[in-house]
Amino acid sequence: MSDNVTVIKPLENPMHGSTRVPGDKSISHRAVLFSAMAEGTSRVSGVLDSADVRSSIGAVRALGAQVSLEKQADGSLAGGITGWGAAGPSQPAEPVDCGNSGTTVRLLMGILAPWDIQVTLTGDSSLCKRPMRRITAPLMKMGARFLPEGRETLPITVHGGGLRPLTYDAPMASAQLKTAVLLAGMYASGTTTVNEPAPSRNHTELMLPEYGVATTAGACTASVTGPAQPQAGEVLVPGDPSSAAFLACAAVLRPESSIQIEDVSLNTARIGFVRTLERMGAQVSVAHTGAAGKEPYGIIEACHTPDLRGCEVPADKIAGIIDEIPVLALVAAHAHGITVFRQVGELRVKETDRLAAIMDGLAKLGVDAWCEGDDLYIEGQPGLQVPEGLEFDSLGDHRLAMTWSLVGLTGKVPVNIKDFEAVRVSYPGFLDDIERLAR
């Protein structure tokens, strides 16, 4: 067997008890990046230690921020970040490598756009295939330049400086796009507004006030008025709901399981997967226990549910579950009837073509899944029996690696996962955590 194939064996026991998941990836990125922009030294804790967040840490160091984060007993990172403040980022000596992190590179475009420096942004082979035009287009309207002109993928060189405010009607709901424009707008004289066709994650609007930058936000709109220089803040990162989704779905699928996931973000823009599971009839619930700044957190509880049913997920809910669709598709494969995810074309341009990968993986299970336009249909098979000897290819995508591992973990026969180590991007301890719940 190839060295990069991992055998995932069925859990020996049902999942029981309480656990925590690593810090939220979206909030961790922003804590690092916003602290690097700020004047003074910010204190951050609960930061996810993963490959993607390490890309943001490396990038801001290359641009002049001083990062002193240390590994904590729970595996998170905590410490101080001294930003470049009003002096602006430094001119790096070489291209800034963003690894596999779309969040890092897209937010950096907005961060660099106001400054009179030239920075080349690049990444790994996967990131260099992902679309960047959605970010560069509004920033060019604000006055930034990107070379080579017309280029839609990395590497791209940012030529910043002299921005003007913008009111932008975004063609898609994207927290990365929205954040990039707002971060650039902080250094333009006037109000910059982003209007979206559906709600996207609102961590930026909630976190910027923690750094002294006022924001105005509605369900599908967000604004910032510049010039506004962020000041050092203090951020506690709650657990990542996208990571929690895989544990919750595992409990729903594994007979006799019942778990609680503590201290996880319950931001309404992030727990759409819970609402989708509820529509499928799954036994899941949330309970608020506190808040970190303006970010609510609490407990997600999930129990095995033998009688799942198909449902329809409307287009206006997709942005809130885009990262969880692969694992929700696996749950739908076990449900009575057909599940429809409306307008999920965005999956084609994630770390890989997740839409094709979902259909290919479910086909290996003997489950019918197909697309009509950008709508994904899955015809469930209650009592689904997994054939022996299956091998899934993660395609280097962390969400796919965790999704297909649940086939083995919650089933009766082992499965092989190619490039399972992709989980290091967001949840390095995933397998240990899920196995600990089944002891």
Residue 432 appears among annotated catalytic residues: no
CA gap 356, 102 in Å, rounded: 20
Residue 309 among known ligand-binding residues: no
**What does DSSP say about strands 16-20 and 258-265: parallel, antiparallel, or unpaired?**
parallel
Residue 30 among known ligand-binding residues: yes
Among 24, 52, 323, 393, the one annotated catalytic: 323
CA gap 395, 100 in Å, rounded: 13
Residue 354 among known ligand-binding residues: yes
The alpha carbon dihedral of 316, 319, 321, 325 has a sign of positive
Residue 26 among known ligand-binding residues: yes
Residue 240 among known ligand-binding residues: no
Residue 164 among known ligand-binding residues: no
Q: Characterize 231-256 residue by residue with b for buried, 16 or more Cβ atoms within 10 angstroms of its Cβ, and e for exposed.
A: bbbebbbbbbbbbbbbbbbbbbbbee
Residue 102 among known ligand-binding residues: yes
- Tell how far CA 30 is from the center of its chain: 12
Q: Is 189 exposed, middle or buried (0-12, 13-18, 19+ CB in 10 A)?
A: exposed
Encoded tokens for 335:
């449900």
Encoded tokens for 249:
């779905």
Comparing CA positions, the residue from 79, 21, 91 lying closest to residue 50 is: 21
State the residue for tokens 């000041």: 231
Q: Name the binding residues for 3-phosphoshikimate.
A: 25-26, 30, 174, 176, 323, 350
Residues with catalytic function: 323
Q: Name the binding residues for phosphoenolpyruvate.
A: 25, 102, 130, 176, 354, 399
Q: Name the binding residues.
A: 25-26, 30, 102, 130, 174, 176, 323, 350, 354, 399
